[in-house]
């Protein structure tokens, strides 16, 4: 599943990221790499969503959220 398909308050683990290189670098610098756990905060809208990873809240655009492959994290 993709991050965009996640539910509010769900915790997901990143399997892979498929974006252009520059964006991938920026995500890496923010600590979003394979294996990172993401908590979705608000995924109500059609487009962007808000999520928390590595202790910080972010707003992620749809293009990003659609291109991050995740699985539900084991609690």
Exposure string of 23-32, with b = 16+ CB inside 10 Å and e = fewer, is: ebeebeeeeb
Q: Does 37 bind other proteins (CB under 8 A)?
A: no
Q: How many residues touch other proteins (CB under 8 A)?
A: 33
Q: How far is the CB of 53 from other proteins (least distance, A)?
A: 8
Distances (CA, A) of 48 to 21, 45, 75: 20, 7, 26
Do the Cβ atoms of 56 and 28 come closer than 8 Å?
no
Shortest separation between residue 58's beta carbon and other proteins, angstroms = 6
Work out whether 47 is an interface residue with other proteins (CB under 8 A): yes
Does 31 help bind other proteins (rule: CB under 8 A)?
Answer: yes
| Cβ–Cβ < 8 Å for 60, 27 | no
Q: Which two tokens stand for residue 16?
A: 């892979």
Is residue 62 involved in binding other proteins (CB under 8 A)? yes
Interface residue list for other proteins (CB under 8 A): 19, 22-23, 25-31, 33-36, 41-42, 44-48, 50, 54-64
């Amino acid at each position: 599943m993709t991050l965009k398909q996640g539910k509010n308050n769900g915790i997901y683990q990143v399997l892979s990221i498929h974006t252009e290189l520059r964006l991938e670098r920026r995500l890496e610098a923010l600590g979003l790499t394979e294996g990172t756990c993401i908590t979705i905060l608000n995924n109500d809208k059609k487009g962007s969503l808000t999520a928390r990873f590595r202790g910080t809240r972010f707003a992620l655009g749809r293009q990003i959220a659609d291109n991050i492959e995740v699985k539900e994290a084991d609690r």
